Amino acid sequence: MYTTCVSQTIPVTQARKDLLTLVDQVDEQYTRVDLTKNGIVKATLVSPDYLDSLEETIYTLQHSMKDIKKAEKEIAKGNVITLEELKNDLKNRIKKNAR
């Protein structure tokens, strides 16, 4: 998975001339190309992998918001455990299941 996408901004007229090169660049170098018309971004070229990862992230967040909000409320109430407590709990569960 990619963590960043390098971006450049060019006019649509330039993109028209350089389209094949831009498509290869977006695909191979994991870049993003914002296309402008009259100085305003009107479209963006991105790789299919980058678009897929964005869509997957959006889907995951949409279906996790209920749990995230619940967790935030629990944290605000102070209903938390330390990492050490979690490790000890897991060790105890493993021992219990091994019997």
CATH code of the domain containing 4: 3.40.1620.10
Would you state the structure tokens that stand for residue 37, as one six-digit string?
Answer: 């018309």
Number of domains making up the chain: 1
Which tens digit of pLDDT belongs to each residue from 62-90? 899 899 999 999 999 999 999 999 999 99
Q: Is 29 left (phi over 0), alpha (psi -120 to 50) or beta?
A: alpha
What's the confidence (pLDDT) of residue 99?
76
The confidence score (pLDDT) of residue 5 equals: 66
pLDDT value at residue 4: 59
- Write phi, then psi, for 32 (nearest 5 degrees): -125, 135
What pLDDT is stored for residue 2 in this prediction? 45
Whether 52 contacts 29, CB under 8 Å: no
What is the residue-level pLDDT of the chain in tens, covering all 99 positions?
A: 444 567 899 999 999 999 999 999 998 888 899 999 999 999 999 999 889 989 999 999 889 989 999 999 999 999 999 999 999 999 999 988 887
Whether residue 39 is contained in a domain is answered as yes
Residue 2, domain extent: 1-47
Q: Is residue 20 part of a domain?
A: yes
